[in-house]
Amino acid sequence: MILSDQDIKRAVEEGKIYIDPFNFSAVQPASYDLRLDNQFKVFKKNHNVVLDPKNPVSDMMEDIYINDDSYFVIHPGDFVLGLIKEKTGVDNRHVGRLEGKSSLARLGLIIHTTAGFLDPGNNLKLTLELFNASALPIKLYPDMKIAQIAFEEISSECERPYGSSGLNNKYYGSDGIDASKAHLNFK
């Protein structure tokens, strides 16, 4: 069941959901608004020929940091990784589902291509997989509302939360943008 605004506030107070920094004005009827940080990661298109999930891609990407009073332009058809400003986490009984904002989707901005799930036990700065489906470039500003997260309670507490030994916890507790670690699935 998706948590309501009052359930989200209660879960934060009880430590079942973690949002830092937390702002009461960001609580929506059944979600919490998240803001864009100032860090991006882009592919070096002129230096690479193919992406191979069996191999690391971190050297194929470059970090871009923008000033708080500046902006980042995502061009039509471009794919970049971005970062959520808030650190968000859930206990072993909850999950989070990252969703786009309708107003930005109407501009053609897709905020996650498939990975919008916050596993029980994880606490991190969520990475955005940004894609511009518009015919025009889109400006992205630090601190702008970029996404929302809905929280759900699962049927029972999970036995092995994200971060447990024996699980492939590639992005556990991340505070920055991690390039794909798909290559670790082949080991």
Express each pLDDT in 127-151 by its tens digit.
999 999 999 999 999 999 999 999 9
Of 149, 92, 96, nearest to 120 (Cα)?
Answer: 92
Query: Looking at the whole model, is its pTM more than 0.85?
Result: yes
Half-sphere exposure (Cβ direction) of 103: Cα atoms closer than 13 Å: 6
d(CA 101, CA 26): 13
- Residues labelled as active-site residues: 129
Tens-digit pLDDT profile for residues 29-88 = 999 999 999 999 999 887 777 888 999 888 889 999 999 999 999 999 999 999 999 999
- CB proximity list for 153: less than 8 A, separation 6 or greater: 1, 3, 93, 94
Domains of the chain listed by start with CATH number: 5-158 (2.70.40.10)
